[in-house]
Amino acid sequence: MPATEEVFIGRQPILDRNNELFAYELLFRSGAQKNEANVDDNLAATASVISHAFAELGIEQALGPYKGFVNCDESLLLSDIIEILPPDKIVLEVLETVEVTPDILERCKELKARGFTLALDDFVNMEDKWLPLLDLVEIVKVDLMPLDRAGLAQSTAALKRWPLKLLAEKVDSREQAKYCHDLGYALFQGYYFAKPVILAGKKLGHSQMSLVRLLGMVLEDAETSVIESVFKHEPGLSMNLMRLTNSVATGVRTKVTSLRHAITVLGRRQLQRWLQILLYTNPASGNVASPLLQLAATRGRLMELLAAKLHPGNRETEDRAFMTGIMSLMPTLMGVELAEILKGVNVGADVRDALEHGDGELGTLLVLSEALENGNGLLCHDLVEELPGVDHTIVNTCLTQALAWASNIGRENE
């Protein structure tokens, strides 16, 4: 397969005003070195991957209840391949490089009539060339990077002449997020959220302290009655555990009706997994699928699936990969240093090395997961080269499966 056909799927969360997950931007990034002579080939490859992702990998199912934003240049907008995408699940982002010609406007009208939502990407300043497009799009993504506060306020005011939903992109700080929120932005995207450091500084609550204790008990194979007694002092955690164990993501066929039942039905391997995920839930909230939980669960599951490809049948390696992915975001969740977290949980040396230094095979899988989240195709290519028996197709398939798994967390069986 030519290098130009190697395209990795990435994704970045888009949040609403309540910091709830609204959508993913799906990123299709070439792993090949940049070469202007291969631009046409890369566009064709990206279109092919989009088709493959939706038709065969099941991205539509992987998105769960969320929408997917897809970048569209002129050639992709005008191609027939875009019509295979599900209109109710997809937002088509018209790139800022697209020349707004009569043909493009006619095509946008046609796609909108087919049920697609249109967005304008990387908007900075109001220009006459955007006026015809602003009558068609429903979402405008405003690029914060080149704008100071005054410029952002001016661009925002100009856009408010239209009934648009404004999305602040490339949000890199808490201050930027708050300022855009105050300006009335409906949606937010950026490295600040993708990390996401929105929960940084959050202190370890009583329930989370209990969970860390519980995780340690499970790793040390404590008696079920001892584990149950800790849960009984945390009714919110108990309810969320039962919700999670009844989730369509668990594979449990029997409806879990009690705490002891949940512990027994799951078994220690699955209980360990759900305790790790439970750390990312809010016992006081009915919504367990927070953006941070989605990110951690996807990362852990992706690493587990890739570990299974590297070491078929080795469940212990799969478990350590899952734990590494989940634990990698705990400093963000708890607002404390990784070293402090590792004091309370006994993990293997390979997990510790991966978390602290990105070393070893688990470290490679962790850095690969982060590169996919950031849409860094070149780094993905280099890392995959270090994983024998894995290629970009396998990575994309595993990521799609991981997204589907994470999207189902908290959605209980009927």
Q: What confidence tier does 405 reach under pLDDT thresholds 50, 70, 90?
A: confident
- Determine the Cα–Cα distance for residues 23 and 66; give it in Å rounded to an integer: 5
Q: What confidence tier does 52 reach under pLDDT thresholds 50, 70, 90?
A: low
| 342 burial via Cβ count (<10 Å: 0-12, 13-18, 19+) | middle
Q: Which pLDDT score is estimated for 56? A: 65
- Determine the Cα–Cα distance for residues 170 and 17; give it in Å rounded to an integer: 16
143 pLDDT exceeds 50?
Answer: yes
Residue 131: name the closest of 120, 141, 142, 122 by CA: 120
DSSP reduced 3-state for 15: strand
Paired tokens of 219: 């790793």
Q: What confidence tier does 2 reach under pLDDT thresholds 50, 70, 90?
A: very low
414 pLDDT exceeds 50?
Answer: no
Residue 7: name the closest of 87, 71, 62, 79 by CA: 71
How many degrees, rounded to 5, is the angle at CA 121 between CA 115 and CA 122? 170
Domain ranges of the chain: 3-194, 196-414
- Whether residue 204 contacts residue 336, with contact meaning beta carbons closer than 8 Å, is answered with yes
Residues 386/292/25/135 CA torsion (nearest 10 deg): -170
Q: Please indicate whether residue 329 or residue 245 has the higher confidence score (pLDDT).
A: 329
- Determine the Cα–Cα distance for residues 63 and 23; give it in Å rounded to an integer: 8
Which position has the token pair 């991981």?
402
Q: What is the mean pLDDT of residues 277-295?
A: 67
- Tens digits of residue pLDDT in 149-181: 999 999 999 999 999 999 999 988 888 989 999
286 pLDDT exceeds 60?
Answer: no
- Tens digits of residue pLDDT in 4-33: 457 788 778 898 998 888 888 887 777 765
For residue 209, the tally of other CB atoms under 10 A from its CB is 13
Q: What confidence tier does 200 reach under pLDDT thresholds 50, 70, 90?
A: very low
Cα four-point dihedral sign 143, 146, 151, 154: negative
Paired tokens of 355: 């978390």
- Cis amide linkage into residue 291, ω under 30° from 0: no
Residue 84: name the closest of 53, 61, 118 by CA: 53
Q: What confidence tier does 196 reach under pLDDT thresholds 50, 70, 90?
A: very low
DSSP reduced 3-state for 390: coil
Q: What is the mean pLDDT of residues 136-147?
A: 95
Residue 220: name the closest of 212, 231, 209 by CA: 212
Phi and psi of 25, rounded to 5°? -90, 125
Q: Please indicate whether residue 291 or residue 349 has the higher confidence score (pLDDT).
A: 349
Q: Which pLDDT score is estimated for 252? A: 60
Phi and psi of 118, rounded to 5°? -110, 140
Q: What confidence tier does 48 reach under pLDDT thresholds 50, 70, 90?
A: low
Cα four-point dihedral sign 282, 283, 285, 287: positive
36 pLDDT exceeds 50?
Answer: no
Q: Which pLDDT score is estimated for 407? A: 79
Give exposure, 151-188, as e/b (b: 16+ Cβ within 10 Å): ebeebbeebeeeebebbbbbbeeeebbebbeebebebb
pTM metric for this prediction: 0.75
Q: Please indicate whether residue 34 or residue 218 has the higher confidence score (pLDDT).
A: 218
Q: Please indicate whether residue 80 or residue 309 has the higher confidence score (pLDDT).
A: 309
- Determine the Cα–Cα distance for residues 185 and 165; give it in Å rounded to an integer: 7
- Tens digits of residue pLDDT in 122-135: 999 998 889 999 99
Q: Which pLDDT score is estimated for 82? A: 82
Could you name the CATH architecture of 196-414?
A: Orthogonal Bundle (1.10)
- Tens digits of residue pLDDT in 253-267: 667 777 777 777 777
- Whether residue 368 contacts residue 395, with contact meaning beta carbons closer than 8 Å, is answered with yes
- Whether residue 277 contacts residue 326, with contact meaning beta carbons closer than 8 Å, is answered with yes
Q: What is the mean pLDDT of residues 311-329?
A: 91
Q: Which pLDDT score is estimated for 202? A: 44
Q: What is the mean pLDDT of residues 380-399?
A: 93
- Determine the Cα–Cα distance for residues 262 and 267; give it in Å rounded to an integer: 8
Cα radius of gyration (the chain): 22
Q: Which pLDDT score is estimated for 261? A: 77
Cβ neighbours of residue 338 closer than 8 Å, sequence gap 6 or more: 330, 331, 355, 356
187 pLDDT exceeds 80?
Answer: yes
Which position has the token pair 């990387």?
122
Q: What confidence tier does 243 reach under pLDDT thresholds 50, 70, 90?
A: confident
Residues for the chain: how many in total? 414
**What is the average pLDDT value for the chain, to the nearest integer?**
81
Q: Where are the beta strands (DSSP E) in 346-410?
A: none
Q: What is the mean pLDDT of residues 346-361?
A: 90
Which position has the token pair 């990998």?
57
- Tens digits of residue pLDDT in 96-111: 889 999 999 999 999 9
Q: Which pLDDT score is estimated for 1? A: 36
274 pLDDT exceeds 90?
Answer: no
Look at domain 3-194 and name its CATH class: alpha beta
- Whether residue 164 contacts residue 139, with contact meaning beta carbons closer than 8 Å, is answered with yes
Q: Which pLDDT score is estimated for 308? A: 96
Indicate the helix (H) or strand (E) that contains 22: strand 21-30
Specify the DSSP class assigned to residue 138: S
Residues 25/68/20/64 CA torsion (nearest 10 deg): -130
Q: Which pLDDT score is estimated for 107? A: 96
DSSP reduced 3-state for 77: helix
